[in-house]
Amino acid sequence: AQSVAQPEDQVNVAEGNPLTVKCTYSVSGNPYLFWYVQYPNRGLQFLLKYITGDNLVKGSYGFEAEFNKSQTSFHLKKPSALVSDSALYFCAVRDTGGGNKLTFGTGTQLKVEL
Amino acid sequence: NAGVMQNPRHLVRRRGQEARLRCSPMKGHSHVYWYRQLPEEGLKFMVYLQKENIIDESGMPKERFSAEFPKEGPSILRIQQVVRGDSAAYFCASSPRGQGETQYFGPGTRLLVL
């Protein structure tokens, strides 16, 4: 069975600084990986995904993520954080067993301070 | 183009009552997924449906929970005889097709069982 780990419950960063939110995965076969963001009392918004191709994936709102097969990681990054980026971020991996369900990590709370 | 619609946004039930949660997918999407988010946890997959078919219900509790996606109308997640442990946020997602497609999430229904 596939799994996703987000080792940090919370990440704090100053506005204007680069941010990284970590994600590692475990899956048999080629992974389909996703990042979503959740604002308070809202649904999840899709940021980006990796299916195949270039290891650096660019997504919405200036976010990007780097797929690293040898380290089984898919860290989310942004060169310059904004206060409005403060939210809960989820990494997810798609089922490789023929279905389409997503397995989510436990989430990382990002706090960007002035 | 409206996104995924869920109603009600908030639902309060007493123990033993029934809860019905509705989800209308994005226009042109024929695949629907239900996830549950318990307090302080990530999202857990419950069920994956296409029109008139349940594709994967591996995450559904064996009793009291059922889901449908009829030919006409929204998808319904039904919880019979609710218990306090059912209190959670229930999210619906949709995709145009299955394999590898991005799932787009609705705002969720927050169920509180008294």
The tens digit of pLDDT for each residue in A20-39 reads 999 999 988 888 999 999 99
Among the partner-chain residues A32, A45, A46, the one whose CB lies closest to the CB of B100 is A32
| Residues in chain B within 8 Å Cβ distance of A41 | 110
The pLDDT value given to residue A95: 75
Q: Which of B21, B45, B55, B57 to mutate to test the interface with A (most CBs of A within 10 A)?
A: B45
Among the partner-chain residues B42, B104, B108, the one whose CB lies closest to the CB of A46 is B104
What is the average pLDDT score of chain B?
A: 93
Judge: B107–A34 Cβ closer than 8 Å, yes or no: no
CA-wise closest residue to B8 among B17, B70, B19: B19
Among the partner-chain residues B45, B102, B107, the one whose CB lies closest to the CB of A42 is B107
| Residues in chain B within 8 Å Cβ distance of A43 | 4, 6, 91, 105-108
Residue-wise DSSP of A69-92:
TTTTEEEEEESS--GGG-EEEEEE
Closest Cα of chain B to A43: distance in Å? Answer: 4
Distance from CA of residue B31 to its chain's centroid? 12
Judge: B55–A100 Cβ closer than 8 Å, yes or no: yes
Q: Which residues of A92-108 are buried (b: 16+ CB within 10 A; e: fewer)?
A: bbbbeeeebbbbbbbbb
Closest Cα of chain A to B2: distance in Å? Answer: 14
Number of neighbours of residue A81 by Cβ within 10 angstroms: 21
The pLDDT value given to residue B1: 54
* B3 has pLDDT over 80: yes
| Residues in chain A within 8 Å Cβ distance of B45 | 101-103
Asked if A47 and A33 touch (Cβ cutoff 8 Å), the reply is no
Distance between start and end Cα atoms, chain B: 36
Closest Cα of chain B to A92: distance in Å? Answer: 10
CA-wise closest residue to B51 among B98, B4, B103, B101: B98
Closest Cα of chain B to A18: distance in Å? Answer: 25
Q: Looking at residue B81, what DSSP letter applies? A: S
The pLDDT value given to residue B100: 67
**A51-89 per-position pLDDT tens digit:** 888 899 999 999 999 999 999 999 999 999 999 999 999
Read off the tokens for A83. 């206060």
| Portion of chain B with pLDDT greater than 90, in percent | 82
